[in-house]
Structure 1
Amino acid sequence: MFSAWLQRFKPDTEKLRAHKSLQMLGPALHDANLWHFNRRSARNAVAVGIFCAFLPIPFQMLVAAFLAISCRAYLPLSIALVWLNNPLTIPVIFYLCYVLGNALLNLPAQEFVFELSWSWLVKSLQTVGVPLLTGCLVAGVLSAIAGAVLMHFGWRFQVARRWKRRRLSRGQS
């Protein structure tokens, strides 16, 4: 049922393959798992997308696309899951990752006041960059593993439930 619903939003693969910005990926875009929603490609896509959502870098969707290709993951889902980290959730996620990084590295919390300037960003990365990056990578890996495991067992549970329903509808037990 979910895959049928998802198929309505699936982009045309031929149009994507012909898109000039994606031409640099070449024949890698012809892998069937990138465009076919199955248990393995979906599990890999969840792991890739969630991991990339925690990366504190611009262009997370490009990183997700390259990782999806290398992991043979369902490309649209990998890219869509990056949007878990959106303008509303970025401050919360990155703050919690910073706190996690401080706890893992056993560092004291740094006091800082936000300014929208390049000099503030460079100065802040020198003080909070290492704990932020550490927390983001650890949270990304753990969340990706948890998401992949939940997707894997959720898919298996759904298939078992469908088989049981089919058996019961045929009058077998």
Structure 2
Amino acid sequence: MRGLAAVAFGILAIIWPGLTLITLTWLWGAYALSDGVIAIWAALNASGGDAGPRWWLGLSGIASILAGVVAFWYTGMTTVVLLMFIAAWAIVIGATQIWGAIALRSVLQNEWLLILNGILSIAFGVILMVQPGAGALAVVWMIAWFAIFFGCLYIALAFRLRQYKRG
């Protein structure tokens, strides 16, 4: 579900590249909130002890919810502040994903997808921090393609994890 939410966000950003900063902020805030709720739900509903440690997933969800709330609360923030905020969020999410993949190494066979997702997220955050003055359209497209790729990796991971479904 997290992957589908990310892909949907990316497609909407591509379809409407002329989004205003306020609309982009609200759209990203809604994505961050939904990502956080789904991550916390997944952390709380994993089956038994064989699911491995899940605190990192809950922490990731809390970070996403806080990021979404801040995005709605400070809607009028400037583009640079929004970019720094999104960049910091991407780095935190990426670090928790890498940590989670390492923690789940004994449970998962394909933890490299989660590690790749974490590395992509951190790289995206660093790029945004280094190049904050990029044009608004370029930023929208970069965020959109990041969300689509990020979502596709989550979807691929979900298919890999189907072998562990409750049953």
Q: What is the TM-score normalised by the length of structure 2?
A: 0.30
Q: What is the TM-score normalised by the length of structure 1?
A: 0.29
Higher relative contact order (CA 8 A, sep 6+): 2
- Which structure: greater helix fraction? 2
Which protein shows a greater Rg? 1
